[in-house]
Structure 1
Amino acid sequence: MITHIVLFKLKDRSPESIATTVQVLRDMEGKIDELRHLEVGTDVLHSERSYDIGLITKFDSLEALQAYNVHPVHKKVIEHMTSVREASVSVDYES
């Protein structure tokens, strides 16, 4: 199994902007066959080093993760994230 984690810091950190982006991420659920697990959470500490949103996804293999990366639904999410994010970091590991 491959776990893919992404943290997002948004340009607009208002509750409305965060809620909209969380929904965009959650809307991938059930629409991408390779996506085995999807979890989206928002930061509760709001510290200086905090990111606003965390995304955890799981895939059966690296090939499945690569298929997800080019899937049309995910590409639409990337478009949204590119327009709203200030920064992001990610990690992918075998689990």
Structure 2
Amino acid sequence: MITHIVCFKLKDRNADLDSTVAILRDMEGKIEELKYIEVGVDVLHSERSYDIALVTKFDSMADLEVYQVHPVHKKVIEHMSRVREASVSVDYESSRA
């Protein structure tokens, strides 16, 4: 199992948070290779905090690659390129589903 985590810092948290969370969550059930999705909103609001965390899981690296170019995900990328100030990610093999 591959776990893919992305954290986003938004340009304008107040204006874009709710719509961005909805757009991310809307991927659920629309991409066959996407086995798990969780979208979390930061509650600490510290200087080093990011605004949103996206946690997704895939059966394989090949499935993650399919997700990356899927039309639903490409629309998310378009939205994120407009609203994000920064993002960081990590991908790793996990033993739990």
Q: Which residue of 2 aligns with 1:19?
A: 18
Q: Does 1:69 align with 2:53?
A: no
SS of 2:13's partner is: coil
Q: TM-score under structure 2 normalisation? A: 0.96
Q: Which residue of 2 is the match for residue 8 of structure 1?
A: 8
Give the match for residue 28 of structure 1.
Answer: 27
TM-score by length of 1: 0.98
Aligned length: 94
Cα deviation, 1:22-72, whole Å, max 9, x if unaligned, reads 000000000000000000000000000000000000000000000000000
One-letter amino acid of the structure 2 residue matched with residue 12 of structure 1: D
Shift of 1:13: 1.2
Q: Runs of 4 or more off by more than 6 Å in structure 1?
A: none
- Sequence identity (%): 74
> 1:90 maps to which residue?
89
SS of residue matched to 2:86: strand
Flag structure 2 segments of 5+ consecutive residues without an equivalent: none
